[in-house]
Structures are given as C-alpha cells and as structure tokens.
Amino acid sequence: MTEQRHPNCEDPYCKICLQDASSLEEELLKRTGNKKEWLDILGAYRTWLDSEGIPAETAHGWPTAAFYDETNVASYITHRQGNGECPGIEIEPGIWSGCDQSGGDCPTCGY
C-alpha cells in the first residue's frame, strides 16, 4: 500500500504529494483490475469517499490521510468489485436514481 509522506502539505506544487497520489492511483488500478484509460480512478475514489462522508481533500487540494487509509481503500475496492451497492445520483433529498453500473459514467461511484 502507498503512504502519504506529507500530511497536511500546504504547497500546491509539491512533487512528493503528486508522487504519492500517483502511487495510490497505480495501486488502485492494480487492485481493481481497471485500466488507466478507462477511468479516473482517483476521481472515482474521491467521489466514493465524499459519498461516505469521509473528508478526501485538504484546503490546499491534496488528499487527506483518510485518502490513504487502507481500511478506506479496501472498502472502496470491495465496492468497486460489486460487493457494495451504489445508490446512483441523489435526484432530491432521499430519492436516488440507482446506479446502472455501465462502465464509467456513474458520477457517484465512477463505475
């Protein structure tokens, strides 16, 4: 698993933070079996974290420690593999569209 070497980094151009995010992207792609050209996996992972109420981004635009947390990564991978059910899009409070799982166009889970 990858790690976050600069927690709470305030430099929006930090190369170490960019490398950490890139390493996490490669790990997620490997563990989900997805191809990079099919999906913005970091974006889909962030969307999933947001839907779970987990803060994903610092005020400076870098991932939070929760982004790199192995428990969150494992839960996301389980979700991506179909063991979790995406509610789709919240059309209005409490009413969800359902997720058609159609290969990358669900804005909630990215699947």
- Listed by start position, the domains of the chain span 15-85
Tens-digit pLDDT profile for residues 94-104: 666 666 544 55
pLDDT at 110: 59
Helix 15-32 and helix 41-51: axis angle, to 10°? 90
Averaged pLDDT, 67-84: 79
Question: Per-residue pLDDT tens for 15-70?
Answer: 998 888 888 888 888 887 766 655 678 888 888 888 889 988 888 778 888 888 88
CA distance readout (Å), 76 to 10, 57, 65, 69, 111? 27, 16, 15, 11, 11
pLDDT at 75: 87
Query: Of 80, 98, 8, 69, which Cα lies nearest the Cα of 44?
Result: 80
Rounded CA-CA distance 71/59 in Å is 23
Of the pLDDT bands very low, low, confident and very high (cuts 50, 70, 90), residue 107 is: low
